[in-house]
Amino acid sequence: MHPWIYPVRSGSENHFALQTLPEFFSESSDYIIVAQDAIEVQDIRNAPAFSMGAFLAMVDEANIFPTISVYTREGYNRKHARLLYMNAAALRVWKAMGKHPREIGTQHRPPNSAVLAFGTPFGA
**pLDDT value at 63 more than 70:** yes
> Angle between the 48-58 and 88-96 helix axes, to the nearest 10 degrees?
70
CA angle 5, 8, 9 (to 5 degrees): 170
Are 86 and 27 in contact by the 8 Å Cβ rule? The answer is no
| CA distance linking residue 65 with residue 107, whole number of Å | 22
pLDDT of residue 122: 77
pTM, whole model, 2 decimals? 0.78
**pLDDT value at 12 more than 60:** no
Residues 6+ apart with CB under 8 A from 84: 33, 34, 35, 36, 48, 70, 71, 72, 101, 117
Taking only the tens place, the pLDDT of each residue in 80-107 is 999 999 999 999 999 999 999 999 999 9
pLDDT band at 78 (very low <50, low <70, confident <90, very high): very high
pLDDT of residue 67: 94
Are 17 and 6 in contact by the 8 Å Cβ rule? The answer is yes
